[in-house]
Amino acid sequence: MAVSPLDSRYKTEMTPVFDEENKLRKWMEVEVALAKAHAELGHIPKEAPSALVAGMKKVKLERAQEIESEIHHDLMAMVRALAEQSGEYGGYIHIGATSYDIEDTATALIFIEGIEILEKRLEKLASVVKKLAEENKGRVCIGRTHGQHANPTTYGMKFAIYYQELQRDLERLREAKEIMSVGKMSGATGTMAAFGAEGIKMQELVMKELGLKSAIVSNQVIQRDRHAEVMCTLGIIAGTLEKMAKEIRNLSRPEMGEISEPFGAKQVGSSTMPHKRNPHKSERICSLARVVRANVQTALENIPLEHERDLTNSANERFIFPESFIVTDYMAKQMTAILEGLEFYPENITRNLELTRGLVMAERVMMALVEKGMSRQEAHELVRDLAQKAFKEKKGLKEVLKESPEGKKFSEKELDGLFDPATYLGMADKIVDSALK
């Protein structure tokens, strides 16, 4: 039975990347690359790497775990399991390497594999967001700042902001992949002493085989600032996804009711309140974002390892790496599904635009008064007073303005134009177009 929801509820295509089977395979791939480098330099028989490749295909995770239960060392358990399947060439495994030459280099390969899955996931999400921005470029809605009605905006603007944020997330992810595409073959303290004069060449050959760059300098481990950068990037991506989910949650409140998550024909919102349409998928994304962000702190604390390294990073990385990648991937997948079925309620969007009886057009009235010759400060104070009067008397701002002496400055047609939200959107269309290019 699964203990972690990562193995069931939140399982995605990312899950097998971080399972024990893939980790074992990646470790063996690094060992084979090391053997190939030794063979190229004439240290071991040229036939040895091929024998190790053949042996690698026969190694079972269960056997490696059985050995580990006896010797209490997971990397050496892999070495012995591979040696068992490599016949006479089993003695040519792991020559000159320390455990983390293999483990950290393999971790880089795993991270790259995970990042590439997440890249595709975010690209898919971005395409859905872009489509929504294009389709809703002209859908006028009320903007809100400090939770209060501000100026009109458009749903196209909302989605264009998300689209650009996702592009930055993708850029960060690609930069993090570059930072993480580094391996080492430098021994117990980073000096390459076990490889002698050919240490640098050995490392270069191994990394070339694996498609990685060589760490210029390392100690017993690849320095954890690299891993922390990836984790920070995942934390930022989680923040982007939570930002989108929170907006959906808030706008789906009955008193707003502008949009909602897709709701299945047989979906149940509450065990006791049959009417409920809870935005539980968006709430789930907000909940999981906290997990990813919390793991960033742990990754940052792993940077200052003692001397040439200690083991304080090792145990927690078994949790935070798979958890953060799988959860972030799940969140992105879930958000894509939400947005693909997002429902709009135009009548509520219009109702909310008109809710304050024209108060949201106060800035436009102020600017129109400036155009009529009033100073900006005078116009601001006047419109502020008119807005307060309209609020207290539960009247429309247009009505209160018409009753004031300054209202005589405007014709009826001008007043109608001043209070049409659809004509006070500035450069919104062009901004959206620019953001989506």
pLDDT at 387 over 80: yes
Do residues 223 and 304 both lie within one domain?
yes
Contact (Cβ atoms closer than 8 angstroms) between residue 223 and residue 250:
no
Residue 2: exposed, middle, or buried by beta-carbon count in 10 A (0-12, 13-18, 19+)?
exposed
Least trusted range by pLDDT, from 239-253, 263-277, 311-325, 328-342: 263-277
pLDDT at 265 over 70: no
In order of 31, 244, 399, the CA distances from 27 in angstroms are: 6, 38, 75
pLDDT of residue 270: 65
pLDDT of residue 1: 59
Q: Considering the candidates 146, 271, 307, 411, report the single residue annotated as catalytic.
A: 146
Q: Measuring CA to CA, which residue among 179, 136, 181, 174 is closest to residue 156?
A: 136
Do residues 262 and 349 both lie within one domain?
yes
Q: Encode pLDDT of 167-208 as tens digits.
A: 999 999 999 999 999 999 999 999 999 999 999 999 999 999
Do residues 242 and 141 both lie within one domain?
yes
Do residues 72 and 25 both lie within one domain?
yes
Q: What percent of the chain has pLDDT over 90?
A: 92
Do residues 183 and 228 both lie within one domain?
yes
Domain presence at residue 257 = yes
Active site residue 146: yes
CATH number of the domain to which 31 belongs: 1.10.275.10
Do residues 180 and 250 both lie within one domain?
yes
Do residues 36 and 74 both lie within one domain?
yes
Apex CA 228: angle with CA 222 and CA 232, to 5°? 155
Q: What is the mean pLDDT of residues 156-173?
A: 98
Do residues 123 and 256 both lie within one domain?
yes
| Half-sphere CA count of 380, side-chain side, radius 13 A | 3
Q: Considering the candidates 4, 8, 127, 270, report the single residue annotated as catalytic.
A: 270
Do residues 380 and 243 both lie within one domain?
no
All residues at 6 or more sequence positions from 203 whose CB lies less than 8 Å from its CB, including other chains = 183, 184, 185, 186, 192, 195, 214, 215
- Average pLDDT score, the chain: 95
Handedness of CA 101, 106, 109, 111 (dihedral sign): negative
All residues at 6 or more sequence positions from 274 whose CB lies less than 8 Å from its CB, including other chains = none
Domain presence at residue 3 = no
Least trusted range by pLDDT, from 4-8, 69-73, 125-129: 4-8
Outline where DSSP puts E strands in 111-147: 140-145
Give the C-alpha separation, 330 to 343, whole Å: 22
Angle of helix 99-135 relative to helix 155-180, nearest 10 degrees, comes to: 160
pLDDT of residue 264: 67
Do residues 251 and 174 both lie within one domain?
yes
All residues at 6 or more sequence positions from 187 whose CB lies less than 8 Å from its CB, including other chains = 96, 97, 98, 101, 193, 194, 195, 199, 220
Query: Which structural domain range is residue 78 located in?
Result: 13-95
pLDDT band per the 50, 70, 90 thresholds, residue 263:
confident
In order of 14, 239, 321, 372, the CA distances from 235 in angstroms are: 17, 6, 12, 50
Handedness of CA 311, 316, 319, 323 (dihedral sign): negative
Q: Total structural domains in the chain?
A: 3
Domain presence at residue 369 = yes
